[in-house]
Amino acid sequence: MKKFWIGVFAIAALLAGAAATGIVVAQDSNSPEDTAPKTIPGRVAAILGLEEATVEDAFQQAHKDQRTQAYREMLDRRVEKGRMTSEEAEEQFLWFQSRPDSLTGSFQRGGHQQSGLGHPRSFKERHPGAGMRRWNKRHSQESKQ
């Protein structure tokens, strides 16, 4: 039994030593990773020899163009399916292009703002009036009887 505990303490000491060595090596400030840019645009700028702000602006413009194209395609699909007229689609597209940049990331698909703490919304919040429809259905059946 005594040999077992000696083995357990020896393994624990080896693990503690390995962890301490890992921490010391990780805190070495002369490593080349510390001087390399941390963001993708920063790395692209370093590779191409450009300023990081220029590359960041290009990334933001490309992202905005993709969102605009996807929104236009979604509106075109709705017109094809007969869910809206081409005039309504054009009006919504003009609104989409003229909205401030501060609104670009705060809306989910479908145009509803995301809930604050990430909690799922209840059925009644997503479908207003659903409870009223059930109430009307129940009471209209009672009045027929």
Give the pLDDT score at 54.
Answer: 93
Structural domain contains residue 104: no
Structural domain contains residue 88: yes
Contact indicator for 75, 89 with CB cutoff of 8 Å: yes
Structural domain contains residue 84: yes
- Domain that residue 49 falls in: 37-99
Structural domain contains residue 71: yes
Structural domain contains residue 94: yes
Structural domain contains residue 8: no
Structural domain contains residue 23: no
Rg (CA), the chain: 30
53-112 pLDDT, tens digit each: 999 999 999 999 999 999 999 999 999 999 999 999 999 999 998 888 766 554 445 555
Structural domain contains residue 53: yes
pTM score, whole prediction:
0.46
Residue 107 β-bridge partners:
113
Number of domains in the chain: 1
Dihedral of the CA atoms 12, 14, 15, 21 (nearest 10)? 140
68-77 pLDDT, tens digit each: 999 999 999 9
133-138: long-range contacts, CB 8 A cutoff, minimum separation 24: none
- State which H helix or E strand residue 119 sits in: none
